[in-house]
Chain A
Amino acid sequence: MVLVLALGDLHVPHRAADLPPKFKSMLVPGKIQHIICTGNLCIKEIHDYLKTICPDLHIVRGEFDEDARYPENKTLTIGQFKLGLCHGHQVIPWGDLDSLAMLQRQLGVDILVTGHTHQFTAYKHEGGVVINPGSATGAYSSINQDVNPSFVLMDIDGFRAVVYVYELIDGEVKVDKIEFKKPPTSNSAP
């Protein structure tokens, strides 16, 4: 059982002061093995904070990120899954599922984690799974009118990935769960 925290689009300090306190109290150091971050933190303080939760931090560049050295995209393997990470402002039209599918084919990954729209999504298509953890702070978005703070926790165990999404709605944390299985003989991504 490997726990992977996926989050992004915090936009601190431009659009939000900090993560919601209810989220902060949930993100306890030492429980999570990897963090994958879609970008737009935007400042070093948030980077350092994420590192305290888990030292294995993977992050890609959002268009407002202060640190220009983050890569445009990144791939990594966890369990039997190959994951791809990209902020999403590079994929036009923004939020378009078919265009994202193309990126997924290009990167050759089972799970594509992407952001930019501040809207949680998790859906399965021919090439695999696309997950958008939304904005962890509920930051303003020009694309999405109604943003609730959200983040995703993936429990990856061999060929099985359970995706938990945590959303803060009207002051309460709501959880939902989606399960994905990768067929062992799948010819997706060598």
Chain B
Amino acid sequence: MIADDDEKWLAAAMTAVKQNAFYMQRAIDSNNLKDALKFSAQMLSELRTSKLSPHKYYELYMRVFNELGTLEIFFKEETGRGCSIAELYELVQHAGNILPRLYLLCTIGSVYIKSKDVTTTDILKDLVEMCRAVQHPLRGLFLRSYLAQVTRDKLPSIVSELEGDGDAQMNALEFVLQNFTEMNKLWVRMQHQGSSREKEKREKERNELRDLVGKNLHVLSQLEGVDLGIYRDTVLPRILEQVVNCKDELAQCYLMDCIIQVFPDDFHLQTLDVLLGACPQLQPSVDIKTVLSGLMERLSNYAASSVEALPNFLQVEAFSKFNYAIGKVVEAQVDLPAAGSVTLYLFLLKFTLHVYSDRLDYVDQVLGSCVTQLSATGKLCDDKAAKQIVAFLSAPLEKYNNVVTILKLTNFPRVMEYLDHETNKAMAIIIVQSVLKNNTHISTADEVDAFFELAKGLIKDFDGAIDNEIDEEDFQEEQNFVARLVHNLYNDDPEEMSKIIFTVRKHILTGGPKRLPLTIPALVFSALKLIRRLRGGDENPFGDDSSATPKRILQLLSETVEALSDVSAPDLALRLYLQCAQAANDCELETVTYEFFTKAYLLYEEEISDSKAQITALRLIIGTLQRMRVFNVENRDILTHKATGYSARLLRKPDQCRAVYECAHLFWADECENLKDGERVVLCLKRAQRIADAVQKMTNASRGTSSTGSVALYVELLNKYLYFLEKGNTKVTGDTIKSLAELIRSETKKVESGAESFINSTLRYIEFQRQQDGGMSEKYEKIKMEWFE
């Protein structure tokens, strides 16, 4: 209803304006000054209305403004025809109402600003004073806005022309300042019009008008002659005086922001204490954060874009001023929520990182201020604050991209103390990912220690709080991050590297049963790499006490892998023991190697009961043992005997057969003459063959089942015999091979074995070898025989 009325009134007013403008134009065309004034006054009367909302009033005003443009041109022509300002003023007094009269006076005054018969300063002074007559907020604002608009273009040139005349400059300045002050007062007064129910509506309307007020500041910033001195001594104090005294939240918010945006950054830097000093004087409801953050952001960008300005920052001690100001704000606003104060410190931190990136002490100070603040509020329990703290801590990480730098910030871990477990872990993940993403290397044990302290949310469970809700995959992915970064903890110096290993181990072992299987392997291999390096070096120059010997480290590893068997990861533990055994073998530490084998074997016997797992584990044992050179005869025999024993006791016979013939390799080391025991090789193969025979019997008995079993095994055995034949094992006789070949042939005649292609490729191989020159064909002569399909 009201909106409709608004439209109606506006339409009616527009019509009246249009009409009067038409007559005014006609009067102008016929040089009729008197009539022109009459109709223009009538037109301007429409602006006396109280019925329109600010938005609609603005529309009306713009319409009128356009028409006044033609009037202004007409006045200019009239002065050319000899009409003086005094005469025009006189004529205008006849306009009935004050508002139209003032609009006309402003128009005339602006035309005469540059004339010689009246001084500029007098005109400006008069105009700005005259407008006081209109105290209605909306009408007054627009009137003064008109005054500002119509004089704006002319001000700069006034100032420059009157360069020698300091007073004149100041008066132009004074004009704008006064207009601004009065406009702000009117604007603020709008807040108190009408009922309290309509407060929101009024604020909305005020917001629509705010640029009218702000424009004045813009004009001030454009004025020539407003240098730093004048800004500091006159302009800023006057503006701030009005801002503080008006005690209006809306105005203060907007105008502070306006000042920051409109005046040069260099000015702000030099008047920092004045600006910041105004902040505590503002209304408590003003969101200081926005003001301060706006200022800090602008200055950060300034620092980023002009390197020459950086010394100025130091000179004016920008950092300490901001630090102090923020401290004051936080102190004053007692019920500021934790999220709010952290946000403030976040802005300060970003500012510091931008402007003073090499001053870690400043960065640390900001962190320290935050800690002090947090200690007052205690451990955080709301999401918003937690999010802000994560952003706060992430800022230096992102800036430096180097965790090692972060480790130098003493207050960083202190801030983390205030996070709840979940957020602490999230932060730990961010830190760890920073290392991985930037491929940061951490090279001293102390730094590694500090790093793991920071990341402890990821490394272990907090007392009593086991996170049961976590997704299994996510958990593994997180621990894989930890495992990965172990490879970034490195130092060329073996002594320091050894210390690093000890430190990493210390932290990882606090991880608990779910974490150890995922993190221990990385530690083990990192240590094995170190051992290899130590081995490659000179004789141990460190003496007995040092920790950087292969033996010492292997001892450590033995204990570490043991922790795995406590948490039901026997397969992994077995593999790691065998890796350690190989390293010990390479270091020629017989006893240590034997120890590792013992542990592996015990695991096999006691913990590994799944058949498939046994087969693989046994293969690994045999493969590893086959490569050992450090053992004396006795030790070797014991271990070999056990291995063959395990092989013969696998569940399924075909698996037994295979494992046993693999054991044959345990008696033959190609490069080592005294590790070639031809007889025991053959014994092994024969034993395997007996098992294959048993498979054959079972197959025959049950008829329907797959018969690839035994024949394939025989062919494999045949290949193994050929292998040892070629290696020069004299105990491999032609007869043995021939009878095996016979067996295969007769079996294949009976039934489809499925091993045909294997047989064919073996036969082809035999033929090929027989064709070879020298020793090979001699060996193959032994087994010359007839084959037919």
Interface residues, chain A, CB within 8 Å of chain B?
11-18, 43-45, 63-64, 89-90, 92-94, 96, 98-99, 101-102, 105-106, 108, 126-127, 140, 142-143, 145, 187-190
Contact = CB atoms under 8 A, between A and B. Distances in A.
Interface stretch (B370-378, B630-638, B758-766): B758-766
B525 A105 contact: no
Interface in B744-775: 757-758, 761-762, 764-765, 768-769
Contacts of B529: 140
Interface in B507-547: 521-522, 524-525, 528-529, 532
B560 to A, nearest CB: 14
What is the predominant secondary structure among interface residues of chain B facing chain A? Answer: helix
Contacts of A101: 765
Contacts, number: 101
Contacts of A99: 723
B477 A127 contact: no
A104 to B, nearest CB: 8
B641 interface: no
B441 to A, nearest CB: 11
B619 A89 contact: yes
B757 A14 contact: no
B719 A142 contact: no
B436 interface: yes
Interface stretch (B324-332, B416-424, B481-489): B481-489
Nearest to A88: B623
23 contacts: A17-B485, A43-B480, A45-B480, A63-B620, A64-B575, A89-B616, A89-B620, A89-B623, A92-B623, A92-B662, A94-B626, A98-B723, A102-B719, A102-B723, A105-B719, A105-B758, A105-B765, A126-B768, A140-B529, A142-B582, A142-B583, A188-B761, A190-B757
Contact of B758 (A12, A89, A106): A106
A64 B481 CA distance: 18
B716 interface: yes
Contacts of B481: 13
Given A90-B619, A93-B623, A106-B758, A15 B480 contact: no
Given A17-B488, A102-B723, A188-B761, A93 B665 contact: yes
B623 A12 contact: no
Interface of B: 436, 473, 476-477, 480-481, 483-488, 521-522, 524-525, 528-529, 532, 575, 579, 582-583, 586, 616, 619-620, 622-623, 626-627, 662, 665, 670, 715-716, 719-720, 723, 726, 757-758, 761-762, 764-765, 768-769
A17 B477 contact: no
A15 B528 CA distance: 10
Given A63-B620, A142-B582, A92 B626 contact: yes
A127 B436 CA distance: 45
Contacts of B768: 126
Contacts of B528: 140, 142
B522 A14 contact: yes
Nearest to B612: A68
Contacts of B762: 105
A45 B619 contact: no
Given A105-B765, A145-B532, A17 B525 contact: no
Contacts of B665: 92-93
- A89, A126, A188, A190, most chain B CB atoms within 10 A: A126
Given A89-B619, A93-B623, A105-B719, A13 B761 contact: no
- B480, B532, B579, B665, most chain A CB atoms within 10 A: B480
A92 B619 contact: yes
Given A17-B436, A105-B762, 9 more contacts: A13-B481, A93-B623, A94-B623, A96-B670, A102-B716, A127-B765, A142-B528, A142-B579, A143-B627
